[in-house]
Amino acid sequence: MEGWRMKDYGSIFKWLDGHTATYAAVADKIWGYAEVALQELKSAALQMAHLKTEGFTVTEKVAGIKTAFSAERGKGKPVIGFIGEYDALPGLSQKVAPRKDPVVQGAPGHGCGHNLLGTGGLAAAVAVSRWLEENGMEGTVRYYGCPAEEQLWAKAFMARAGSFDDLDAALNFHPATYNMPGKGTAVGIYDVRFKFTGVTAHAGGSPHRGRSALDAVELMNVGVNYLREHVPEKVRMHYAVTDGGRVPNIVPETAAVWYYLRAPDMKILDNVYARVRKVAEGAALMTETRVDIRVTAGCSSVLNNHYLADLHYEVMKDIGSIVYTDEELAFAREINTAYPDGASEGAFAGLPVPQAERDRVEAVGKRPLVDENFPAMDELEVRTGSTDVGDVSWITPLSMLRTTCFPAGVASHSWGATAASGMSIGHKGMMHAAKIMAGVAALLFDEPEHLKKARDEFLKKTADSPYKCPVPPEIRIEDVTPTF
């Protein structure tokens, strides 16, 4: 890569290697807490306490969210952010075992590996801040404790409060089945609530006097299902009826439907939203009811910075592959067989692999665990799940790194991911990510031309579409807090 040179950042990697047990213990504690969205009090407290002992200044309750915080160490520019998370998923409790076996049936579990995600960022932030100080260098390291990623909105609230505005770049990783920085995108999303109001009447005796709000909901859904054919690729529109009347013999006066609308970029999303509104208004017109439409939350599509992705890969090559023990490989082999088609589909399932990497992907993807590093191969990929990391990516240059924390056949959001996240396989992927992110951050602090190149690309790509927070100004986090 042009302009890139690897200085001796070995001391950072060595420090992280020497502190694997410390961060594995933090990750295991958060794994054990398994706190779901906006209830991550113990997880956040544990990380804040660790950061304080490392000399970080902690700001609690960022954006008024009780489990959001930021912490920084160092001084002046640049400011490099590490984006952490720690929420678990409902119902995914699982022991560290290669077959399905919950710790507590129905209880939450870390089926997305966010115990690793947050702790990897934490480890990287501490390691780089120490290195900056030891070398008497200027710069600020900031770690963000971001709650509720699985409910998608918290970072958008933090973004609306300006929390990421002074960052020069942000680094983030997510547990996966392979080691690869990100160039692809993920869809943006709006959370929209439609409430119809009609006129109640006796459904048997005088239906002609009623105007059914439920009819309007049903007609709206039919309309959207016809619209589905005529929207761009990768648009997603899904709904749940949240009020469908109470008893059959009353014409429903009110009815409500809750939609998630998703699209590869925010312009397409705005267009789809406008069209769905028309469908709702048409349903109201047909049924002589009234409709109230409210966007309650949303998160932006992901804009990965390609320059940063390539920089990640240079550091990855320098660090080398993950080395597994025979026990870990045996565990992975067994867990892979528990997933229908999982092992045969392999770790890279669904990725548009470029020609140059096909042979290596073919060979390495069949191993029980992907130990080798790959360059970003997802340039053409649009993931149809959303993440609120997207909001950060439109405010500052960011590339989402993925590292092998799950065996090749394991699906995210499943019991196998919980199992792998609570053991050495997860710890190894987490520390691999911590080293890569710390190495990239060191380069950004030490060689300003990297930041300039990442920033130039960012400015070019956002020139026509500056960040617009998808959460309306009047909405509070309490308004979109789920109940489990």
Q: Which is nearer to Zn ion, 85 or 253 (CB)?
A: 85
Q: Say how far apart CA 300 and CA 262 lie, in whole Å.
A: 10
Least CB distance from residue 150 to Zn ion, whole Å?
5
Coil, strand or helix: which one is 44?
helix
Q: Which is nearer to Zn ion, 112 or 170 (CB)?
A: 112
Coil, strand or helix: which one is 130?
helix
Q: Which is nearer to Zn ion, 178 or 458 (CB)?
A: 178
Least CB distance from residue 388 to Zn ion, whole Å?
10
Least CB distance from residue 311 to Zn ion, whole Å?
23
Least CB distance from residue 413 to Zn ion, whole Å?
6
Say which residues have a Cβ less than 8 Å from residue 114's Cβ, sequence separation at least 6: 30, 85, 86, 87, 88, 149, 150
Residue number, nearest CB to Zn ion: 112
User: Which amino acid would we find at residue 18?
Assistant: G
**b (16+ CB within 10 A) / e for 255-281:** bbbbbbbbbbbbebbbebbebbeebbe
Structure tokens at 292: 């109230």
Q: Which is nearer to Zn ion, 112 or 268 (CB)?
A: 112
Least CB distance from residue 376 to Zn ion, whole Å?
19
Decide if 309 contacts 378 (C-beta within 8 A).
no
Helix pair angle (20-33, 41-53), 10° resolution:
160
* Residues in 87-116 that interact with Zn ion by CB under 5 A: 112
Task: Strands of 208-315 (E only): list them.
Answer: 236-243, 254-263, 290-299
User: Which amino acid would we find at residue 144?
Assistant: Y
Least CB distance from residue 351 to Zn ion, whole Å?
17
* Residues in 111-140 that interact with Zn ion by CB under 5 A: 112
Decide if 375 contacts 183 (C-beta within 8 A).
no
Q: Which is nearer to Zn ion, 112 or 442 (CB)?
A: 112
Helix pair angle (266-287, 213-227), 10° resolution:
140
Phi-psi region of 194 (alpha: psi -120 to 50; beta: other; left: phi over 0): beta
* Residues in 370-399 that interact with Zn ion by CB under 5 A: none
Q: Which is nearer to Zn ion, 173 or 190 (CB)?
A: 173
Q: With helix as H, strand as E and coil as C, how does 186-234 read?
A: ECEEEEEEEEEECECCECCCCHHHCECHHHHHHHHHHHHHHHHHHCCCC
Residue 54 — φ and ψ, nearest 5°? -95, 10
Q: Which is nearer to Zn ion, 112 or 128 (CB)?
A: 112
Least CB distance from residue 220 to Zn ion, whole Å?
29
Q: Say how far apart CA 107 and CA 89 lie, in whole Å.
A: 9
Q: Say how far apart CA 410 and CA 104 lie, in whole Å.
A: 21
Q: Which is nearer to Zn ion, 88 or 169 (CB)?
A: 88
Total interface residues for Zn ion by CB under 5 A: 1
Least CB distance from residue 173 to Zn ion, whole Å?
10
Q: Which is nearer to Zn ion, 26 or 112 (CB)?
A: 112
Least CB distance from residue 149 to Zn ion, whole Å?
6
Least CB distance from residue 334 to Zn ion, whole Å?
24
Q: Say how far apart CA 146 and CA 84 lie, in whole Å.
A: 6
Q: Which is nearer to Zn ion, 112 or 370 (CB)?
A: 112
Q: Which is nearer to Zn ion, 112 or 261 (CB)?
A: 112
DSSP 302: P
* Residues in 240-269 that interact with Zn ion by CB under 5 A: none
Least CB distance from residue 385 to Zn ion, whole Å?
8
- The reply on whether position 80 binds Zn ion by CB under 5 A is no
Q: Say how far apart CA 341 and CA 362 lie, in whole Å.
A: 16
Name the residues that contact Zn ion, by CB under 5 A.
Answer: 112
